Chains A and B, each alone.
Chain A
Amino acid sequence: MSDDFGAVSAQEEPLYGAPRLPEGGTGGVRAILRDNLFKDLKNSILTLLFGAVLAFIALRTLRYLFVTARWEIIYDGPLSFYMVGKDFGRTGISYEMLWAGIYVAMFTGGIAAGLGNRSAGPAMSLSARAAMIGGPLFGVVFILSMTRTITPTILTVGAVGFLLLGSQAARRVRGALKRRLGLIMLALVGLSFGFITGFDPSNIDLFGGLLLTLVVAFAGIGLSFPIGVVMALARRSSFPLIRPIAVGYIELIRGVPLISLLFMGQFAIGFMFPPGASIPGPIPRAIIMITLFSGAYVAEVVRGGLQSVPSGQIEAGKALGLSPLTITREIVLPQALRNSIPALIGQFISLLKDVSLLVIIGLQEMLGIIDVVLARREFTNQGYTPEAYAFVGAVYWTLCFSMSRAAQRLETRLGVGTR
């Protein structure tokens, strides 16, 4: 269920290393072609074989995208169902407010990216850069091509602008402002959350589609982070009574599938509240279970980070006469958390994909909203399923691919595993 995206890479070679480019091949196009495609007979046969297969797949895909597919299931779905769900209108949140929230979030993300930029990593090759930008760009263009007006496109471009703005701002701030940057980012995250939920978290009950997917994933990773840190510390602590609790929690959760936990959220935890207590709605209950689930995986990621801190650091702290608490807080955790950032992003990507399971318990995230659209009078029983799945798949792919690439870059930059 979780993919341990970067978890192994804490100890091993980065999984997302740039594809190995063959050495040489500096002698113009012909030389490149020869070295990469037609070096010898075996290579030439492979080239022709794979060339044929890839060309066939590319042709079929393009023909489907531009000729056979009936995209009215998306743009007349309507598109807003896939993006924000069918009940979003009932929340009373205006689209301006939603976009404001997105802009603030993008700005904050830009600041984080800008801070990372300071320690410049190895330069990226042109082809790697093209792949990193090209794929997601194609995805975004595909998604935007389903819109009816130009407004969403302009707004999306604006969002990218805010991302760049944030990273520029992060590079330029100095002095007191920079020292408080953590707090400022935190405030911005809060502000963004406030805008998106219309300053009333109970509105989440009416969310659907991509918005629900993202809110659940962000809430899940954010809320599970403290649980994960505490559990990782507990698991590595020298407390003989507490360690088994952490081990029990982590291994129990990791031993069962997420869907069984989600079933528990829907069917069982309602019975665990004291009689007369108010029971959270289905979406908050799902968030609770996703948080518990993710907590165990985050704990393992953080544990990997803790293991990567050299024991000399702790010994140095002891030599200075620092208390164990201070050593953990001031020496171990900052380094461990920094080292686990790429793996945490990997965990977040897993979580984002896992949110699709909410459809099984009847919630209308992106996969769930497909059923609503397919049941509509105009579309029912007309075989629109492939188009709907293709669209949702494209949205997921664009999100996950760009984030995994970002994690990969961060990994090289932070030099995890090489220090």
Chain B
Amino acid sequence: MAKETEMQLLTGRTALVTGAARGIGRAVAEAMASHGARVIMADLTAPDVAGIPGAEAIALDVTDEAATERAFDALQDRRLLPDVVVPNAGILHLATTTAMPLQHFTDVMNVNLTGAFLTARAAATRMSAGGRIIFTASLFGLRGGAGNVAYSASKFGMVGMMQSMAADLAERDIAVNAVGPGQIQTEMIEKLVETRLAEGLPDPRERLRARIPMGRLGTPQELAGSYVWLASDLAGYITGQTIVVDGGWQVG
């Protein structure tokens, strides 16, 4: 959208993205900044914001309720209260059901679901009319998959939470939606590939490419356009939805 028309869709907006150090979160922050938003990038350690105009970095553990509240208070004090919030921080532990340790299961739920709840709640408490909350769900929040017993549970939960929040907040004119990525070329995937190759297993991307109608994995940048659009005035009547960005994977 920006490239074609050079329209600045998010002028005057302040956006907070968690899990913004790498991958999808970083691409979303970059895209929102390029559309004129003031961007606050949060991660466990404050992300590098070099090259992103006007970006601020904060350190935040999204599973820490008190720290999350403090972070929003601090932003409010500095008149940087976000009106677009992207609870994006997430982790992945893959294992089949019988091999899944409880600790990995609860870690995934704590970061992906509880963490997203705490960020969204802190945001909604302080947000005024016109605000937007955009979760990073997953195609695995709409269907299951081998090895995804923890991740899929967290993302299904996120989709239900998102729809309920949409119902709670609509009267205050706060729209709540999610983006549902399919297979995106990120470090999360790279690590998975490395692990598989080290175990002598085939590169999972080959099988994926064959199953995706567009014939390739997506890039974080291709995903970011959907977040920018959901945050913009163009999407003002959309709430409670998951926008799937998967190159046709779920239909192929």
A-B interaction: no
Using a CB–CB distance below 8 Å, which chain B residues touch chain A? Answer: none
